[in-house]
A and B are shown apart, each in its own frame.
Chain A
């Protein structure tokens, strides 16, 4: 009962502090929101990178073309062998007939190619395997495995490469954005800590008379400190709420556009944030609150003298 009373009264004082230095409060919250913006940018870029890379990775496959005349059992044996590797997700067999059909299908409007093809008596295509790896890094291992003398000689050509470059390019862009967000976020975080320190210092200064009286009439030390801790919690809470109020609608606008860009039904950013909103914003609040309470405590130990 006494504890509740104490907290309610301390909260009243905290709100008074907040209003009496309203401009400082606004500045503090602004820096907090900027810090959170950077953190959220980090999260969004991270999710987007994952989506983009996933998209590309899902499409990556390596086609291994076997020499003409390689028997189907040999190719199927190679397929079995590949499927036995933990790095291989799938290996699809394309027979030479199938390859021929696909080729003619693709070039059916190009009479010169069709004519050229018809002059060749036999099917010029060998069989092939379309391999998907579990991770793009695994391709190297898989291709190496195919150099195995059992199949190596039967292989005409291996074809991939480009995908790797695409992924590298995506990663280099998103890495740069993430480093930028991380750097700016860290700078803002430092500024945020300093500004809380100052806000509490000024709050202590503005309230020096009350604090002096509180001490002399026997207010407990924790009661004197509590309003300042609560004030720093209010800063964190208001900032997190503002951030949520900005981010959630922004995502709802952004998500369809990004989905269209990536050509997926949804990149799941909105769902992710909405369904984990408590975690996302709760986590941000906790980090912010912990830092500002720490900063406020340092300010109090230096200026409150209780």
Chain B
């Protein structure tokens, strides 16, 4: 895969402006498994960045580092001015409330309705009932699922399920939304709808990091594309476009 650049992206920004800042981030799962090798990446608030690359190049690893699911072996990670490199375990929940996550294997609870699945994220964070009652309909409307709150996951389509997952990621009004292969199991049209939803969320001001394999998705987006190769940043283009190699 190749991503042609139309305009070289410059990362020379003032430090305090960065929403996400990775400085020479290395990640080794074992001494001989290097997933990331010295990543330098700066993402501004409100940006929409797609992370692409072949399987096994460390895209998911990168996403996991951003939510402190994994720790970097070396380097520094700063999110919204908060250095999370050595974040204490007790602080991780607060980080997670500021970063919405959509993972491919990050499923819905079958025995809960759409509304309950979304409310769950607020319940477990100890939010008051009244706030849950206010927020859930709002995010349901944002992802275009109103009227389906009382359905169970097996009563809605795959695309709709993914919308519920996105809605759940939005309940804490995160500054950053990280989506790892959110269109993985979806057909092209549904995938585009999901990406449109992500773009809409981005338009509201949320920084979006999208990890994807999908060339159509990247082409349609016309946003910044970072390509990883063997754990390193291969290209970083302001507006990425997929072309056949």
Contacts and interface: CB of A to CB of B under 8 A. Distances in A.
B21 interface: no
Interface in B105-121: 106-107, 109, 120-121
Contacts of A215: 96
Contact of A219 (B90, B106, B125): B125
28 contacts: A2-B126, A5-B126, A5-B128, A6-B126, A9-B123, A209-B107, A210-B120, A213-B106, A213-B120, A215-B96, A216-B67, A217-B168, A217-B171, A217-B172, A218-B94, A218-B95, A218-B121, A218-B125, A218-B172, A219-B93, A219-B125, A220-B90, A221-B92, A221-B93, A223-B124, A223-B125, A224-B124, A306-B89
Contacts of B107: 209, 213
Contacts of A190: none
Interface residues on A, range: 20 to 34
Contact of B124 (A2, A9, A209, A306): A9
Contacts of B109: 209-210, 213
A6 B172 CA distance: 17
Contacts of A217: 96-97, 101, 120-121, 124-125, 168-169, 171-172
Interface of A: 1-2, 5-6, 9, 209-210, 212-221, 223-224, 306
B103 interface: yes
Interface in B76-111: 89-90, 92-97, 101, 103, 106-107, 109
Contacts of B95: 218
Contacts of B168: 217
Contacts, number: 63
B106 A212 contact: yes
Contacts of A306: 89
Contacts of A5: 126, 128-129
A218 B90 contact: no
Nearest to B112: A210
A209 B124 CA distance: 14
A15 to B, nearest CB: 14
Nearest to B105: A212
Nearest to A20: B111
Contacts of B101: 216-217
B172 A221 contact: no
Given A209-B109, A210-B109, A213-B109, A221 B126 contact: no
A180 B103 CA distance: 57
B96 A218 contact: yes
Contacts of A9: 123-124, 126
**Which of A217, A219, A221 has the most chain B CB atoms closer than 10 A to its own CB?**
A217
A214 B126 contact: no
Nearest to B128: A5
A28 to B, nearest CB: 23
Contacts of A210: 109, 120
